[in-house]
Structure 1
Amino acid sequence: MNSAVNRLRTPVLLLVLYFAFEVFNRYTFGWSLPLATALLVAIIYNVIRKEHGNHDFIPQTARARVTYDVLRVLIMALLAVSLILGHHIHIGGSTYAGTMAENYIEPYSWFDAIAFICIFFVLILAERTISQIALTYCSKAKTVPAKTISSIPLRPFLIASAIVLALWLPYLLTYWPGLIFGDTLSSFNQMFSGTLSNHHPVAFTLAMKLCVQSATAIGFGRTTGIALYTIAQMSFMALCLGYLSIWFIERLGVRRRFVWLPVALFGLSPYIATYSIALWKDPVFSCCICMISTLLADAVLSEKGITSRLQTVSLCFFSLIAMLFRNNGAYIVLALILLLAVASIVIHVRKKSLRYVSILLPLCISLVAYGVISGPAYSALHVTPTEKVESLGIPLNQMARVAALNGDMSDSDRAYMNSLLPLDQYKDKYRPTCTDMLKWDPEFNAEPLNNDFWSHWVSMLIRNPRVYFEAWEMQTFGYWTVNVPAAALHTTNIDGGVPRNVHPEHEIGFDIASHNLLGSETFRIALPLSSYSISGGMVFWILIAACLILIRYKKWQWMLPLLPLLLLYGTLFVASPIWYWPRYIFAAQLAIPVVIVLVYRAVFDSKSTGTPDSR
């Protein structure tokens, strides 16, 4: 009997593996390739068989192992849930203006429960297999000595920055004086009317105004002034990415001649190059967040915090500019300060150490400076505050979905929703994946948002929790799913802003004109505005995986450089105005080299490795 069971064990296991992988493929990729699945199952089974009983991990206490296992199971379960949710999101129309009939959530079924088990099983197996392969490689590789955290050499940094800038110049000449969007026109209107609004950050508007005034003062026109701002933005971005290129190679300990790899990536990528000339607030903001993560990475890698005056000034500068150039920057810096303050208190109580004070100080200085600028200084300039509706994207859409579906509402809730927009119009004007069409509707009245908004939001939440969750899904899925084609294969980042440079039917005005200084339209074909980038959902799960690896290698504090990026996602998860726009998470995409360095150092540094123990 036992012999028969043993003979059946292998084919049954292979069958189970094959079924689980087939379900995983269908939910994740939407297709089935039997031969590819069979090959993958054979590889996984072979690794499992060879590694059976070999549960090598770095030395950890029993408590640390339990913590890691709990986190691993939780993260894999959440990823499995995201794959199932994403599998049911149907995008059949415009992801900006599509109606409920076009963009919706397909009904769930009993098979989704089986799919969850299969997907979770595959994810756990994949994580285990990758871990075993990595551990096998690490055990055979030579021990890598811990690398010192030295300053970045000035000359290579400047050369790398200059090369990146030079590679971007053809885009500027082709789309002179820079890519102009509807948001840009709003800033132009403020610049030339004298009425300032923080709907689009005042710092961004005033920076362009300064460039225009400088150009006109020496006899040039407004178009040249806007080009001057674009050049300044390109130079700032090139300096940040040139620094990141050298930093990446130095911190990995790779020979410096390989710096051409990140330089080529940053300089030749159409996705990044178009950002360098995009007259949005996002390019400068994103580079600042990326540089904050880079500075924090040096602080944790050195284990001494911020040690130089230049780093202190840089952290203060980048934090302040990030807050001034995008409104959610203040929330990111404030949350970072609060988290660091709590961590500092805990570490001080346990180890009598004040490690994070050197990081907290410049962050607090920048926050105070921002408070002064956005408070008294903006008041002196008579700056109109940002409209409240701009920070209520998801909550407003959740309430609108309830009204559109004629959900459960009290008489007070109905009256409140009717005061925003006539109740009979929500069904036609509600858009599942974007709030803009609703808040910009001529009949939408934003005034009631200032009175009792949150009390009605809670009241409707209690009555319609599922509808609220579905509204949140449709408003944010691009930032956490990896299996919705509309997000995973998104290429219309720049085109989504309708650049006036290539849409002549939309006028620019203000005595500003767009030109192709290279003359031939061939250059516009060779330098496209649409390009693929790694999706926001993929980047999010890369960050989560990096955190899990750092925890596994007992590098909890090394997650600090990832906090600004995760907090950036957090602001989108609670107040996103649209299902997905890559420019909102551009900072996280740029900071992937920081993630790579942290994971590499955690795994390979001699301080992090050790003799595996039995689990």
Structure 2
Amino acid sequence: MTNLSPIIRVMVSVVVSLIATAGIISFYEPFYPFTMFIGVILICLFTLIAYSASKSFSWNHSILFSRPHMKWVLPFGLIFPALLMASSAPDQSHIETSIMFVIVYFVTYLVYMCLSFIGMSKLIHLDASGKSSKYSFSIYLVIPFVTWMVYFIAFFPATMTPDSLSQWGQAHSYDWSNWHPLVHTWLLTVLVQIWDSPGVLALFQVFMMALVWAYGMKSIEKRGVSFVWLSLFTVLVAAWPVLGIYSISLWKDVLYSIVLFLFCVLTFNIVFTRGVWLTQKSNLLLLFVTSLGVAFFRHNGFPVFLVMGILLLIVFRQHWKPLLANFIAVLAIYLVVTGPIFTALDVRPTEAKEALGIPTQQMANIVINGDLTEDQEAYVSNVMPLPMWEKFYHPYKVDPIKFSGEYDDTFIANDLGAFLKVWSGMVIQNPGLAIEAFLKETSIVWQMHEPEKPGYTSNFLTYIYKDNEYGLENKIFFPTITSNVKEYLEDSEKNFLTTIWRPASYLFAIVFLTFTAWMKFNRRASVWLISLPVLLNVGSVAATLPAQDFRYLFSNVPLALFLIAMIWIGQSKMSDAHE
């Protein structure tokens, strides 16, 4: 097509874009005035992409399709679009005939496949090199900090749910429970000595999020990317509604996500300097503190640290001494704190039911719809009376069962082996129902499009739960600011639920960008380590997910945005340069 005249290329591009737009829109929505408006935008966008590809895209000269790369690119380019479609497919009752159904799916698949190949090819050759600036770190810090302070003012002093209030109570009563990670509660306890208001943690989170983002952008800038482009991108990031409202949301998941993202940035520095970053003591101190945060700020963080610590030791074994010292130190502190110290302080342990969400959901679905042996029926009746399983079962959250008052957590905890034996037997006998329960409960992990009711997404709130026992409440200083920010959040959720307010969208972006970076930087396996902390978190969340809350996967957001900037690094910039 590159040999055709410009006029013919334009005509062909327009025809291709019309077909692509019709297929994409039909896949997601019936045609009505708003989709027609979207269609015009897509036609223009697809025409530009098709015309640009017709001018410059070459199968023969693209690095992407060279023989060493092709054996990886082709499977990914064929599988990724299919997974993307499965994740984003809505109710499609508007597609009335089987023939139209096949045509729409075929066209949509071809569009996504072509976009994947073209996107990878463009990103591999992308190089946003430019000047650095001694003031750039301050720019990367101030832009998000000032923007997110608007949320602080709008919803002063913070937003809080019962989980937040529970930790607030512990921080004042010193009646410790590890239901919420106790080290995170201790941090809150220290902060409220400075200012006895939820605002102190909100301010701390706002500053830490801005600081970590600034550090990440500066790290990319050191690899040669223009500070001007990174500054402009930071403006977009600062305006991202998820980051803004979460910066003042007092959930343990927020601070954990911040340190987990920082761990990804540190891994980026290790990877792009091939371990040389580890030779500086200040960097090792930062790695140590960050590792402690990952291990302590959520219960699933410790396994993430363990896996990452072992893999870093293997991949960067030439720098094994500092990595091993960090690993042993964090492990020792974790064992001492969660062992003797917790015992001395009489810390109440986490209840067993908190780790059994998925098995409980599978049990419930099988009890209601499947086949049980007499022994299995007897056991589940002891856990909860049989009629209650159906009464409290919600396919997208396990909390109604856990907190029903009928669910006997003590019975399970007394013989966890018996529970696992019965559960595994029920799953083997009813694999289809077990898979169905798992996919529904973990919908927020893998599904971009929100499921039909009773599916839901719990994204954010803009207030402190009212009538709480601590007398905490929001204060509105500037009603116009509060109203406008709330409207901005609600509009973003209403119009961009699938793209902005479903964490699976960020997961697909992480996988695509990491794979492209892996190809771009000569298939260095260490590139995958940059995203691995968040991917491990996704896996651990999927194994224990209690409800469809975005906050459990908040770490997907800053990493996906960071990877967009990382892919701007030129191919030649992964070097042995010292920090």
Q: In which range does the TM-score fall when normalised by the shorter chain?
A: 0.7 to 0.9
Please give the TM-score of this superposition, normalised by the length of structure 1: 0.76
1:10-49 equivalences in 2 (<5 Å) = 22=22, 24-29=24-29
Residue pair 1:213, 1:225 contacting (<8 A) in 2 also: no
Corresponding residue SS for 2:420: helix
> Is 1:516 the equivalent of 2:475?
yes
1:55 aligns with 2:60: yes
Read off the aligned partner of 1:588 and give its amino acid letter.
N
> Alpha-carbon deviations, 1:262-308, whole Å to 9, x = none?
55345455532332222211221111011111111111111234232
Amino acid at match of 2:84: L
1:208 to 188, 198, 203: 188
Structure 2 partner of 1:103: none
Distance 2:555 2:539 in 1: 13
Query: In the alignment, is the contact (CA less than 8 A) between 2:225 and 2:568 conserved in 1?
Result: no
Task: Structure 1: give runs of 5+ residues left out of the alignment.
Answer: 1-13, 90-108, 216-223, 345-352, 609-615
Greater Cα shift, 407-416 or 260-269 = 260-269
Flag the 1:243–1:52 CA change in 2: closer, same or farther, 3 A. closer
Shift of 1:314: 0.8
> In the TM superposition, what are the counterparts of 1:14-413 in structure 2 within 5 Å?
22=22, 24-29=24-29, 54-58=59-63, 62=67, 64-83=69-88, 87=91, 119-131=108-120, 138=125, 156-158=136-138, 160-162=140-142, 164-215=144-195, 224-251=196-223, 253-254=225-226, 256-257=227-228, 260-305=231-276, 306-343=278-315, 354=318, 358-359=322-323, 361-405=325-369, 407-413=370-376
Q: 2:535 is matched with which residue? A: 566
Q: Is the 8 A contact 2:17 2:43 kept in 1?
A: no
Whether the aligned pair in 2 keeps the contact of 1:178 and 1:279 (CA below 8 Å) is: yes
1:427 shift after superposition = 2.0
Q: What is the Cα deviation at residue 238 of structure 1?
A: 3.1
**Match of residue 611 from structure 1:** none
Q: Which of 510, 519, 543 is the aligned partner of 1:543?
A: 510
Residue 470 in structure 1 maps to residue 433 in structure 2: no
Q: Quote how far apart the aligned CAs of 1:400 are.
A: 0.9
**Are residues 541 and 507 of structure 1, via their aligned partners in 2, closer, same or farther at CA, if it must alter by over 3 Å?**
same
Residue 411 to residue 558, structure 1, CA distance change in 2 (3 Å): same
CA RMSD in angstroms comes to 4.1
Q: Give the letter aligned to residue 412 of structure 1.
A: D
Distance 1:417 1:456 in 2: 8
**Structure 1 residues 26, 453: CA separation in 2 closer, same or farther (over 3 Å shift)?**
farther
**2:554 is equivalent to residue 586 of structure 1:** yes
Q: Is the 8 A contact 1:417 1:423 kept in 2?
A: yes
Residue ranges of structure 2 left out of the alignment (5+ in a row): 1-13, 494-499, 575-579
Q: Which sits farther off after the overlay, 318-327 or 520-529?
A: 520-529
Shift of the alpha carbon at 1:83?
4.3
Is contact 1:289–1:322 with CA below 8 Å preserved after alignment?
yes
User: Aligned to 2:408, which of 445, 448, 456?
Assistant: 445
Distance of 2:540 and 2:262 partners within structure 1: 19
| Alignment CA distance shift 1:54-1:258 (3 Å) | closer
Q: Which residue of 1 aligns with 2:467?
A: 507
* Residue identity in the other structure for 1:397: Q
Q: Aligned partners of 1:160 and 1:23: how far apart in 2? A: 40
Matched-pair contact (CA < 8 Å) for 2:399–2:546 = yes
Task: Please give the alpha-carbon distance, in whole angstroms, between the structure 1 residues aligned to 2:556 and 2:376.
Answer: 39
Distance 1:594 1:362 in 2: 25
Deviates more, 1:291-300 or 1:69-78: 69-78
**CA spacing shift, 1:121–1:271, aligned 2, 3 Å:** closer
| Kept in 1: contact 2:23–2:105 (CA 8 A) | no
The SS at the match of 1:298 is helix
Percent identity among equivalent residues? Answer: 23
Aligned position for 2:3:
none
Partner SS for 1:556: coil
CA deviation map 1:514-544 (0-9, x unaligned):
24262x5333213326554353111111111
2:381 to 386, 401, 418: 418
Cα separation, partners in 2 of 1:403 and 1:357, compared to 1, 3 Å: farther
Aligned equivalents of 1:156 and 1:338: distance in 2? 34
Tell me the residue number matched to 1:97.
none
Q: Which amino acid aligns with 1:420?
A: V
Give the drift of 1:178.
2.4
3-state SS in 2 of match to 1:354:
helix
Task: Give, in whole Å, the separation in 1 of the partners of 2:49 and 2:205.
Answer: 48
3-state DSSP class of the match of 1:600?
Answer: coil
CA distance in 1, matches of 2:550, 2:243: 11
